[in-house]
Amino acid sequence: MKLHHLACAIAFGGAMLISSQSYAGSGSFSTLSYNIAGTPTAYNGWDNTHTQIISCYVKPFDIVNVQEDFLWHAALYDTCDNHPYRTPTSGTAGIGDGLNTMSSFWFDDLDRVTWTNRADSDALTPKGFSLIRVRLAEGTYLDVYNLHAQSGTSSTDLTDSVSDVNQIVSYIEANSAGNAVLVYGDTNTRYTRVGQNIWEFLHRGFSDAWIQTIRGGSVPAVGSGDLVCGPTQTARPDCEIVDKVLWRGNGYLSLQAKAYVDHQDAVDSSGTQLSDHHPIEVDWTYATAASFALSDQFGGPHGTSYNDSSALPSTPVVKQLTIQTGNRVDHVEIALSNGYVFSHGGTGGTTQTLTLGNGEVLSSVNLCIDQYQGHTRVFSINFATSAGRHLSGGATTASCTTYTAPAGWQIAGFHGRSGDEVDKLGVVYAPVNTGTVPARQPQRLINRSSSLCMDVNGGTMADGTAVIQWSCNGGVNQTWSYDDQTGMIRSMADPHYCLDNNGTYGDGAQLIIWTCTGNNNQRFKYDASAGTIAVRSYPTEVIGMNGTSLGNQLLTATASGAAAQTWTLAQ
C-alpha cells in the first residue's frame, strides 16, 4: 500500500520552511464528503470493486473527507487517487475510526478523537472525529474536521447523538480557538429531528452549506417533520440529508460556499450507487483581511492551538514585549498600548521585558527548534526592533528560521501551539500605525434596572471565576473594556481575562471570566441605544440580572426587552 507520509514536507513535525513574503488575498478550493461504506455488504458486492471506482471518483476534489474507510483502504489510496497529502489509516473495522482525508494542500496537527458515549452497534468500532490543520497559502490555515456520528433514533441513540455534538463543539472551542474551521462528514442528524442538537453549531457562529446555498439561509424548524428526499435525492430545500458541511471564519480568513452539489453520478457500470450515501461537493472561495497578514508556523504539533489574529483590535500598537526562557522558550507575551495582553505558554523560565519607544516596532523574530522528551519545541527566540534593539533567550539549535515584517508592517501578535512551553510559533503582522492610539479607558457595566455593576467575584483573576452582580464600589474588578470590532469584553483588573458564557448557548448560561482566546464564547455585541449585551453568534441570548440579591452570578436569557437586560457602559 502506498502512503504519502507527511514527514517529507515537515521540519520536526510542524513547520514548512517557506521564505516568500507573498500573502494570500483570496483563492478557491473544493471539498467532498463521502461515506464510502467500506464494509462487506451485499450493497457493495462484498468486495473492493466499488472502493476502486471511488478512488478514481474523488481525484478532482481538493480536500476529501471519507467515512467508513475500513476494509479496503488500500484500494482507496492505491487504485487511482493521487492526492499528495493523506492521513494514514487508523485501522480496519473494530480498530480504526474509518475516517480519512485526502488533500491537495499540505496539512499537519492530525488528531483523532473517539466519541465518549458509544452504545449498540456504534460501540463495535471507535467512531469519532478527526482534525487536520490545512495550509491554503502562506500563513493561511484552516482547521478541517471529519466526523462520523452515531446513528439511530431510539432514546439511547438520541442521547448519544446529543453527546457527540456537544463533544465536538467543546473540542473545537478548546482546540480551534481563534481559527477558521470547516466541519463535514456523516453527522447522522437532522435539524428537524426532535431530540438532536445539530443546531448547536449554528449557535456557535457556524453556517451550513446546504442551508445557505439551497435554502437561502432558512433553518428548518425542530419538530416540523423530516424533509424526506424520496427516491431521487437532489440538492433541494425540501431534502435534508445527514451528510452535512458547516463552517465559520475567524475575522482574518473568511469562507464562502459558492456551490453545493448532491452528486448522483457515483455509480458502477450497472448504474448502482457506489455507497448508501451520495458524495456531497461544496465549492468554496476564501479571502483574507487586508488589515493583517500571518507568517507560517515553526515548531511541533503538541500543545494547544492559539491565534491572536481574531482578537487583535483594528490598529494595534505594541508597547511591551515579554519572554520567559531557560533551555527553551517557555512563554511569549505582547502588551498593546490600550492595555490588551496576548500571552502564550507556561510559567517557567527567566522573565525578560522590552518596552518599545515611540515609533519603535517589532520588525523580526528568529526561532530555533529541536526535540525535547519526544516533542518538538521552540528552543530559542530573538526579536529585533526597528530601532535595532533585541530581546532574546533560550538555546540556539541547527534548525532555525526568521520571520521579518514587510516594509511598513510590524509584528503585532502570534499564532501557533503552546502548553507548559511554546511548541510552535508564527507571527501576526499589522500595518505600522503612525497616529496616536489612546489607552483604553476602564469602564463599568451598570445594569439600568438595578444600578448594580458587573463584578469579578472577589477580584479573583483566574479561569472560571464567576461574574456577579454587586453594588458599584469603584473596585478595579468592576472595570471592563469592550472592543466592538471583536466583541470581546476584557477585565481591566487583568486584561489576560475576558467575559465568557462558559460554553453554554441558551438560557441560564452562567457568566465567568476565562483567559482571552478569541473564541465565540467570548464574543458579544453591545447595543448602546437598546442597552443590550447579546451573544454575538446567537443574538437572541442577552445578559441580564439574576434576581435581585447581591452576589448572584449573571446569566444569559432570551431577549425580552426587560429593563433587567439592559446595561450602560460608564467611566
Q: What pLDDT digit, counting tens, does each position of 216-271 carry?
A: 999 999 999 889 887 766 788 999 999 999 999 998 999 999 999 999 899 999 99
Which pTM does this prediction carry?
0.93
Question: Residue 269: is it exposed, middle or buried by C-beta count within 10 angstroms (0-12/13-18/19+)?
Answer: exposed
Per cent of the chain over pLDDT 70 is: 93
Contacts of 226 (CB under 8 A, 6+ apart): 190, 192, 193, 240
pLDDT, position 571: 85
- Is the pLDDT score of 3 beyond 50? no
- Is the pLDDT score of 520 beyond 80? yes
pLDDT, position 437: 67
- Is the pLDDT score of 436 beyond 90? no
**Residue 272 Cα to chain centre, angstroms:** 38
The band of 94, judged by pLDDT with boundaries at 50, 70 and 90, is confident
The H or E element that residue 539 is part of is strand 538-544
- Is the pLDDT score of 480 beyond 70? yes
- Is the pLDDT score of 457 beyond 90? yes
Q: Give the pLDDT confidence of 43-80 residue by residue, as tens digits.
A: 566 689 999 999 999 999 999 999 999 999 999 999 99
Q: Give the pLDDT confidence of 193-215 residue by residue, as tens digits.
A: 999 999 999 999 999 999 999 99
Return the number of other C-beta atoms located less than 10 Å from residue 395's C-beta.
13
Q: What is the DSSP string of 421-489?
A: SEEEEEEEEEE---S--PPPPPBEEEETTT-EEEEEGGG--STTPBEEEEE----GGG-EEEETTTTEE
The band of 441, judged by pLDDT with boundaries at 50, 70 and 90, is confident
Cα distance between residue 559 and residue 557, in whole Å: 6
Longest alpha-carbon distance in the chain? 78
pLDDT, position 11: 36
pLDDT, position 9: 34
- Is the pLDDT score of 438 beyond 80? no
The band of 118, judged by pLDDT with boundaries at 50, 70 and 90, is confident
Give the helix ranges, DSSP H, for 307-415: none
* φ, ψ (nearest 5 deg) of residue 111: -140, 140
pLDDT, position 124: 73
pLDDT, position 10: 35
Contacts of 316 (CB under 8 A, 6+ apart): 336, 340, 412, 413, 430, 433
Please state the rounded mean pLDDT for residues 452-479: 98
Give the chain's domains with CATH numbers: 29-287 (3.60.10.10), 293-431 (2.100.10.30), 444-570 (2.80.10.50)
Question: Residue 415: is it exposed, middle or buried by C-beta count within 10 angstroms (0-12/13-18/19+)?
Answer: buried
Q: 50 with 44: CB under 8 angstroms?
A: yes
pLDDT, position 126: 85
- Is the pLDDT score of 1 beyond 50? no
Q: 53 with 268: CB under 8 angstroms?
A: yes
The band of 8, judged by pLDDT with boundaries at 50, 70 and 90, is very low
Q: Considering just the CA atoms, what is the radius of gyration of the chain in Å?
A: 25
Please state the rounded mean pLDDT for residues 342-355: 97
Question: Mean pLDDT score of the chain, rounded to an integer?
Answer: 92
Q: 330 with 345: CB under 8 angstroms?
A: yes
- Is the pLDDT score of 2 beyond 80? no
Please state the rounded mean pLDDT for residues 477-496: 96
Please state the rounded mean pLDDT for residues 534-542: 97
Cα distance between residue 445 and residue 440, in whole Å: 15
Q: How many CA atoms lie within 13 A of 198 on its CB side?
A: 29
Cα distance between residue 462 and residue 27, in whole Å: 41
- Is the pLDDT score of 496 beyond 80? yes
